[in-house]
Amino acid sequence: MQRPAVAMLGRHVVTLLARPASDLERDARGTDGAPEVKTIDRVYSAPQVRQRGLVVEVDHQALGRIELLGPPLRFGSSQPVKPTAPPVLGQHSAEIRGTMANAAAV
Question: Which comes out higher in pLDDT, residue 35 or 11?
Answer: 35
C-alpha to C-alpha distance for 32 and 98, rounded to whole angstroms: 55
Three-state DSSP state, 56 = strand
Residue-wise pLDDT tens digits, 19-58: 566 665 666 665 556 667 788 888 888 888 888 888 889 9
Q: pTM for the complete prediction?
A: 0.51
Give me the half-sphere count of Cα atoms (radius 13 Å) on the Cβ side of residue 75.
Answer: 1
pLDDT at 82: 77
pLDDT at 60: 94
